[in-house]
């Protein structure tokens, strides 16, 4: 009897092990994470999020960072079917566009929508916040490529110099963890980026199994579960009452990135080819490029540096080059670098107060109406 019990237990263990191996093998072979990401409670059971999921403080905000692009977009309001009376405006950019230290209604997209803009034929103009923290034009291009199926009528891309350095293009985790998509963009547009960059996260067979992808699956599940609490509270970012204000006084330091002193910022240094790829990806959809406002210091050594991000020599060279590229390529371009008063910046040279965001949103609204009427 005891022998039969042990034999039965052994058969159960063997069958369970075989089933476990089969499930992991099928998971690795089918690679279903993209399909899984498209399955979402958002826009069906709970409302879509107003901005892309991002955050590392789930104890105080119902949000998280993940690298599954289909899951991120499926959780966003942009995944809703486009209404017949709707004109869609997509906003791309960094944490300024995403709305660091801002409630969703205070972001650029939120304030544009609050204005109730209408097209020439009475269509509702709806802005969608596709900004995402971490500065990199390639990150923006990756998101633009993934969201073009949403049928935009206008794309607004807010940029700043920190997104242009060549060595920063593959820095964001969302870029590193989507190597196939990024390599496709590199090949499609002939980008001067290394498709074999060691920072790309390329999984082996074991890494593609369910065990290897358990973190990605858990992140997808957590995003769904957070949707209920987020819908009930609207909390997708913890905004502390106290913060360290952006720096106003500086050392006599003219360095920027890896450059200790002024140099020529040419095509090898700045990724204008990635910006051009975004214009090409937009295709027939009008694209507006905005050099976003930034904090301009009048403090100690402000004759050397505009702010903690930029020495004057680097930023002035960038503005000159960006204007020249826009003119040569026929891009619709506006330079708003000094459009917002210094008092309307919070903890970084590009993060706006609600009042600063409202000012920029008003300027964007005027441009949107011009483009739509045109």
Residue-wise DSSP of 11-34: HHHHHHHHHHHHHHHHHHHH-THH
Average pLDDT over residues 4-26: 51
Residue 216 lies in a domain: yes
Taking a C-beta distance cutoff of 8 angstroms, is the pair 96, 292 a contact?
yes
Mean pLDDT value across the chain: 91
Residue 275 lies in a domain: yes
Cα 72 to Cα 262: distance, rounded to the nearest angstrom: 40
Structural domain for 352, as ranges? 14-239+246-373
Residue 35 lies in a domain: yes
The count of domains in the chain is 1
Residue 2 lies in a domain: no
Residue 333 lies in a domain: yes
- Residue 47's alpha-carbon distances to 62, 63, 109, 203, 267, in angstroms, are 14, 14, 17, 33, 43
Is 65 a residue whose pLDDT tops 60? yes
The per-residue DSSP string of 49-90 comes to BSS----S-TTTSS------HHHHHHTBGGGSPPPTTEEEEE
Residue 112 lies in a domain: yes
Coil/strand/helix, residue 173: helix
pLDDT of residue 32: 63
Average pLDDT over residues 18-27: 44
Residue 4 lies in a domain: no
pTM above 0.85, yes or no: yes
Coil/strand/helix, residue 373: helix
Distance, C-alpha 157 to centroid of its chain: 11
How is residue 7 written in tokens?
């034999």
CATH at 20? 3.40.50.1110
Cα 292 to Cα 287: distance, rounded to the nearest angstrom: 15
Ramachandran category for residue 93: left, alpha or beta (phi over 0 → left; psi -120 to 50 → alpha)? left
Helix ranges (DSSP H) in the chain: 2-30, 33-38, 69-74, 95-98, 108-114, 137-147, 173-176, 179-189, 205-208, 214-233, 272-282, 312-329, 354-373
pLDDT of residue 267: 74
How is residue 19 written in tokens?
């089933």
Buried b (16+ CB within 10 A) or exposed e, 168-185: bbbebebbbbbbebbbeb
Which tens digits make up the pLDDT trace of 205-256? 555 665 656 788 899 999 999 999 999 999 999 999 999 999 999 999 999 9
Cα 227 to Cα 299: distance, rounded to the nearest angstrom: 44
Residue 6 lies in a domain: no
């Amino acid at each position: 009897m005891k022998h039969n019990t042990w034999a039965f237990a052994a058969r159960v263990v063997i069958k369970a092990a075989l089933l476990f191996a089969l499930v992991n093998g099928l998971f690795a072979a089918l690679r279903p994470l993209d399909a899984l990401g498209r399955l979402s409670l958002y826009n069906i059971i709970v409302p879509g999020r107003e901005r892309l999921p991002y955050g590392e403080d789930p104890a105080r905000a119902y949000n998280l960072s993940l690298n599954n692009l289909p899951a991120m977009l499926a959780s966003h309001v942009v995944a809703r079917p486009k209404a017949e009376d709707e004109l869609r405006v997509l906003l791309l950019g960094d944490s300024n566009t995403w709305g660091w230290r801002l409630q969703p209604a205070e972001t650029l997209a939120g304030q544009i929508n609050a204005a109730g803009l209408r097209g020439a034929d009475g269509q509702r103009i709806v802005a969608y916040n596709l900004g995402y923290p971490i500065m990199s034009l390639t990150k923006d291009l990756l998101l633009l490529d993934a969201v073009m199926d949403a049928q935009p009528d206008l794309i607004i891309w807010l940029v700043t110099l920190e997104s242009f350095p060549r060595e920063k293009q593959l820095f964001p985790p969302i870029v590193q963890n989507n190597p196939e998509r990024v390599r496709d963009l590199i090949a499609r547009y002939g980008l001067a980026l290394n498709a074999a960059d060691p920072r790309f996260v390329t999984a082996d067979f074991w890494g593609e199994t369910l065990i290897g992808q358990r973190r990605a699956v858990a992140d997808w599940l957590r995003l769904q579960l957070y949707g209920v609490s987020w819908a009930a509270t609207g909390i997708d970012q913890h905004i502390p009452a106290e913060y360290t204000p952006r720096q106003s006084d500086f050392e006599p330091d003219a360095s920027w990135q890896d450059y200790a002193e002024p140099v020529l910022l040419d095509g090898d240094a700045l990724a204008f080819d990635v910006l051009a790829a975004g214009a090409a990806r937009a295709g027939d959809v009008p694209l507006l490029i905005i050099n976003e406002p930034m904090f301009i210091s009048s403090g100690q050594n402000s004759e050397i540096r505009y702010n903690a991000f930029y020495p004057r020599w680097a930023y002035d060279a960038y503005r000159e080059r960006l204007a020249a590229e826009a003119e040569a390529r026929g891009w619709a371009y506006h330079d708003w670098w000094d459009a917002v008063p210094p008092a309307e910046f919070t903890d970084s040279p590009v993060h706006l107060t609600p009042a600063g965001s409202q000012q920029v949103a008003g300027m964007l609204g005027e441009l949107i109406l011009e483009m739509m009427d045109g």
